[in-house]
C-alpha cells in the first residue's frame, strides 16, 4: 500500500528507487518554486542563483547533487513549517507533535529500515537522501537529528521569548552549523577536520543573524546574548515595531551592537581564508564555499559596515 490516509508509505519508495527518484525530483522543484514565490521578488533574488547552482552541479556530480538537493529542500520545507512560513499539515495538532513525528521517522529510516514507515509526502525527500547516503556508505543520522534539535530549540525559545546567555547561543549554533558542515563534507568526500571551517561558519552565522534580526525578533527569537544586552545597554522594548535593519539602526545601542558584530564577522572571514587556503580541497568544494558562503557573507557584512559608518 503506497498511501494510508494522508500519509505515504516511505518503505515502498525505498524498495522502488526509480519511483523514489522521480517523486523526490518533483518535490525538489515544487519546494524550490514555492520558496521563491512565497517571498516575492526578494525570493527570486535571494534564492534563484543558489537553487540554479544546485542543479548545475549535478552535471558533474549527479548523485551528490541529488542528495544535497533533497537534504536542502527537505530541511527548508521543515523549517518553514516550524517558522510558520508554511502551514502546519492539518493532521498535526501542534508543531511539537510535528517535530516528534519527524524525529521518529529519521530514527526509523536510519535504525529500523526494514520496518514499514509512513510519513508526509515531503518525507519522501528525507527517504531519498537517506537512501542515497546509504548507497554511498555515508551515515547522516546524527547530523539530521542535530538539525532537528536546533529547530526544536528555536520553537521553544520563540514560544518563551527567552534570552539566551552567550554560552547557550553558542551551544545552539554549535548544533546546527557543524551538523550542516559535517554532513556536506561527508557527501563531498573531503578528508579534513570540520573544525577548520569554524571561522567561516561563524562569519556566515553572524551575517545571517544580522540580516534576519528584525524578522527573528518579531517571531520571538532574540539572537543577542544576555551579556551583549548588558554590554551595549540594549533595552529590548525599544526594538518593538522596528521591522527593518534601517529602523533598528536608529536605536544607538543596537547600532553599536551591529557594528561590533560586523567587525567580528569580517575578522572571521579573514581567519577563514587563512585556514582554508592551507587545506587540500576539491575545486568544486572551494567554488561552492566561495559562491554560497564566503562571497555573500563578505558582500553583506561589508554593506553593513558601510551603513554603520555613514
Give the pLDDT band of residue 112 (cuts 50, 70, 90). Answer: confident
DSSP 155-205: HHHHHHTPBPPHHHHHHHHHHHHHHHHHHHHHHHT--S-GGGGHHHHHHHH
Q: How far apart are CA 41 and CA 122, in angstroms?
A: 25
Are 185 and 213 members of one domain?
yes
Domain residue limits at 166: 141-310
Same domain, 11 and 84: yes
pLDDT at 231 over 90: yes
241 pLDDT higher than 70? yes
DSSP type of residue 282: -
Tens of pLDDT, residue by residue over 47-81, are 777 788 888 888 888 999 999 999 999 999 999 99
Which of 92, 107, 139 is the last residue before a domain boundary? 139
Model pTM?
0.87
Final residue in a domain of this structure, among 139, 160, 185:
139
Residues 245-269: pLDDT tens digits?
Answer: 999 999 999 999 999 999 999 999 9
208, 265 Cβ separation under 8 angstroms = no
pLDDT at 188 exceeding the cut of 80 = yes
Q: Are residues 167 and 224 in the same domain?
A: yes
3-state secondary structure of 279: coil
Specify whether 179 is located in the same domain as 41.
no
Let me know whether 122 and 240 are in one domain. Answer: no
**Domain termination site, one of 139, 162, 186:** 139
Residue 273's pLDDT band (cuts 50, 70, 90): very high
How would you class 110 by CB atoms within 10 Å of its CB: exposed for 0-12, middle for 13-18, buried for 19 or more?
middle
Average pLDDT score over the chain: 90
Contact 81, 95 (CB under 8 A): yes
pLDDT, residue 5, reads: 59
Each residue's pLDDT tens digit, 70-109: 999 999 999 999 988 899 998 999 999 999 999 999 999 9
Which tens digits make up the pLDDT trace of 140-181? 999 999 999 989 988 888 777 888 899 988 887 777 788 888
CA-CA-CA-CA torsion sign (146, 288, 54, 43)? positive
Domain identity same for 152 and 97: no
Q: Could you tell me the CATH number of the domain that includes residue 310?
A: 1.10.600.10
Residues 160 and 250 in one domain: yes
Amino acid at each position: 500500500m503506497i498511501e494510508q490516509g494522508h500519509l505515504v508509505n516511505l518503505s515502498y519508495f525505498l524498495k522502488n528507487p526509480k519511483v523514489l527518484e522521480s517523486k523526490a525530483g518533483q518535490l525538489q522543484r515544487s519546494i524550490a518554486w514555492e520558496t521563491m514565490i512565497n517571498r516575492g521578488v526578494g525570493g527570486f533574488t535571494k534564492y534563484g542563483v543558489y537553487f540554479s547552482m544546485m542543479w548545475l552541479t549535478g552535471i558533474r556530480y549527479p548523485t551528490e547533487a541529488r542528495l544535497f538537493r533533497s537534504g536542502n529542500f527537505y530541511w527548508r520545507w521543515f523549517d518553514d513549517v516550524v517558522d510558520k512560513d508554511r502551514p502546519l499539515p492539518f493532521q498535526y495538532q501542534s508543531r511539537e507533535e510535528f517535530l516528534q513525528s519527524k524525529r521518529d521517522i529519521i530514527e526509523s529510516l536510519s535504525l529500523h529500515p526494514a520496518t514499514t514507515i509512513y510519513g508526509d509526502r515531503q518525507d519522501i525527500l528525507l527517504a531519498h537522501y537517506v537512501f542515497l547516503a546509504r548507497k554511498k556508505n555515508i551515515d547522516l543520522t546524527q547530523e539530521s537529528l542535530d538539525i532537528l534539535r536546533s529547530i526544536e530549540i528555536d520553537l521553544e525559545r520563540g514560544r518563551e521569548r527567552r534570552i539566551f546567555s552567550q554560552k547557550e547561543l553558542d551551544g545552539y549554533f554549535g548544533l546546527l552549523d557543524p551538523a550542516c558542515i559535517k554532513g556536506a563534507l561527508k557527501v563531498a568526500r573531503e578528508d579534513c577536520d570540520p573544525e577548520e571551517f569554524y571561522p567561516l561558519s561563524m562569519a556566515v552565522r553572524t551575517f545571517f543573524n544580522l540580516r534576519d534580526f528584525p524578522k527573528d525578533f518579531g517571531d520571538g527569537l532574540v539572537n543577542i546574548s544576555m551579556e551583549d544586552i548588558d554590554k551595549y545597554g540594549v533595552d529590548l522594548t525599544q526594538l518593538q515595531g522596528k521591522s527593518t535593519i534601517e529602523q533598528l539602526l536608529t536605536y544607538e545601542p543596537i547600532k553599536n551592537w551591529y557594528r561590533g558584530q560586523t567587525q567580528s564577522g569580517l575578522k572571521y572571514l579573514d581567519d577563514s581564508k587563512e585556514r582554508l587556503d592551507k587545506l587540500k580541497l576539491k575545486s568544486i568544494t572551494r567554488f561552492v564555499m566561495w559562491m554560497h558562503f564566503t562571497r555573500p557573507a563578505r558582500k553583506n557584512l561589508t554593506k553593513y559596515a558601510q551603513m554603520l559608518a555613514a
